[in-house]
Amino acid sequence: MKKRFAVILAAGQGTRMKSKLSKVLHPILGRSMIEYIIKGLNANSIDTKVTVVGHGAEEVMSVIGNQCEFVIQKEQLGTAHAVMKADEILKDLDGTTIIVYGDTPLISSETFEKLFQFHEESNSFATILTTKVANPFGYGRVIRDESGQVERIVEQKDANEEERSINEINTGTYCFDNRALFSALKEVGNDNVQGEYYLTDVIEILRKKSRKVSAFLTEDSDETIGINDRLALVQAENMMKKRINENHLLNGVTIVDPEHTYIGPDVTIEQDVTIYPGCMIFGETHIGTGSTIGPHTEITNCAIGTHNVIRQSVLKNSKIGN
């Protein structure tokens, strides 16, 4: 099996969040956005993870701790410039590198694995994670040739009428042959309106060298959304809440009102537990079988035994017996 590496882009300021907190540290059900990415990657046998930090670097590094290696992008000069900062750690290694934004917390570990497998089995030098959306306005369109291979990515402002009708878009997540990636990055220029170095230019560079470029289409477009403001953050939390609650329901937990029940991603609940509306259950909490929780109860980092009844309570860092 090829070695696998990951570069997580987390250097941006995220001005549209209108917050002093780094964008990638904003929580969704008690876990920061970037930690969803890290945990999703951890399920896919990643040998080395590198997070590119910039604005709020110390805060981001403090939250992530030893889960990643870090490089600093002091000036935000584009996505290719950010990835180049990982050059000192990855450039001489053989394997596959995935590049993912730290503000895309909904991409599942299963989708990461499918992308890796598609890339490696197709012997591609680059694979773009794409999806289809009803309204592609503002996104880069993926242009394929007659055989289905990727020709290029066209941004909205550069697309002609025919290209704008294409609804397959670039999500910003990629897999690359690691050596080919860092070789191509050296050729990326900044001759554009923004004066930035774009990662999408690597695709064109590889194509000109007759290197195979592919696209892996994921059917769940909701997975790929990036969080740029608090409206998108709320939308993402609702999607994650639905995903988590449905998983518990299918595993034998009764959630009376899933719309008004918030359960964190690290919570474990045994079967035949009943949860009433207005509950918020976060952290490393475990709830034993037959227990009734709520209504209007907040639980954080607790071990709760079997057949308990907990109503209108706040519990933190506590242990309750059977």
What are the DSSP calls for 213-278, one per residue?
Answer: EEEEE-S-GGGG----SHHHHHHHHHHHHHHHHHHHHHTT-EES-GGGEEE-TT-EE-TT-EE-TT
Intervals of the chain under pLDDT 50: none
In the block, which residue shows the tokens 């709320």?
234
Between CA 283 and CA 267 the distance in angstroms is 6
- CB 94 within 8 Å of CB 3: yes
Catalytic residue chosen out of the listed positions 4, 16, 31, 152: 16
What's residue 186's pLDDT?
A: 96
Return contacts of 134-139, CB within 8 angstroms, 24+ apart. Answer: 134/167, 136/164, 136/166, 136/167, 136/168, 136/169, 139/169, 139/170
Which secondary-structure segment (H or E) carries 163?
helix 161-164
Between CA 94 and CA 96 the distance in angstroms is 7
Give catalytic status of residue 16 as yes or no.
Answer: yes
Q: Is 314 exposed, middle or buried (0-12, 13-18, 19+ CB in 10 A)?
A: exposed
Distances (CA, A) of 69 to 81, 93, 258: 18, 15, 38
Cα-flanking dihedrals φ and ψ of residue 223, to 5°? -60, -30
What letter does residue 140 receive in the DSSP assignment?
Answer: P
**Which residues contact residue 313 at a Cβ distance below 8 angstroms, ignoring those fewer than 6 apart?**
297, 298, 299
- For the whole model, what pTM was predicted? 0.94
Between CA 101 and CA 91 the distance in angstroms is 20
Q: For the chain, what is the total number of helices (H) and then of strands (E)?
A: 9, 23
Domains of the chain by start residue, with CATH: 4-224 (3.90.550.10), 251-320 (2.160.10.10)
Between CA 55 and CA 112 the distance in angstroms is 26
Q: Is the dihedral of CA 48, 129, 76, 190 positive or negative?
A: positive
What letter does residue 56 receive in the DSSP assignment?
Answer: B
Read off the amino acid at residue 30.
Answer: G
